[in-house]
Structure 1
Amino acid sequence: MNIMFVSVTERTKEIGIRKALGARRSSILMQFLVESTFLCLFGALIAMPVAQIVVAAIHTIATSVYDFEAASAVSILIPLDLLGIAIFVSIIVGILAGIIPAFRASRLDPVEALRFE
Structure 2
Amino acid sequence: MNKKERQVHFLLQFFFLLAGLYIIGFNSWLVNTSSWEEGLFEFYNQQLPVFKIIAGFVVSLGCFVSSFLLWIRSSSMYGGALFSSGILFMYVLIALGEIIYSYPTHAVPFSVIAILVLQSLPFLIRRNSRQY
Query: Which bin holds the TM-score, normalised by the shorter protein?
Result: 0.3 to 0.5
Alignment TM-score, normalising by the size of structure 1: 0.39
More relative contact order, 1 or 2 (CA 8 Å, 6+ apart): 1
Alignment TM-score, normalising by the size of structure 2: 0.36
